[in-house]
Amino acid sequence: MISQDRTLDLYFDGIEKIDMPREKMHYIVIIDSKNEKILEYVKNRVKDYKFLTTKIYFTNEQDKYEETNFRTRAERITRNLKYALNEADKFNNRTPYIFMVEDDTLVPKNAFKKL
């Protein structure tokens, strides 16, 4: 789930370093923003990672990262999370696992193996 562009380099550097079987994984990203530059950036970065499939969804909504109304922000996060889980379920009907990372989360190289 991506909403900001300020940490995308770090996010993708982290995704690149995580030791995981990309060729067996479905990569689903929800860009919760109306910033089309983020969409183009994500498309360009993810194409070289060789995931089994890649799906990118773009909400085209005003950024709410700094939203002060917690209820509004929580509802939006919940909606996107439910959508991501429903999409994952379409691909992933043989396993209960989903590995989820947000754009502002830096993940250690061994995170997938620990899961």
Residues 6+ apart with CB under 8 A from 83: 30, 57
pLDDT tens digits along 4-35: 788 888 888 888 888 888 888 888 888 888 88
Tokens for 88, please give them: 């994952």
pLDDT of residue 96: 62
Tokens found for residue 17: 């370093």
Higher model confidence: residue 87 or residue 23? 23
Highest-pLDDT range among 1-5, 27-31, 37-41, 108-112: 37-41
Q: What is the end-to-end Cα distance of the chain in Å, rounded? A: 19
Query: Averaged over 51-63, what is the pLDDT?
Result: 84
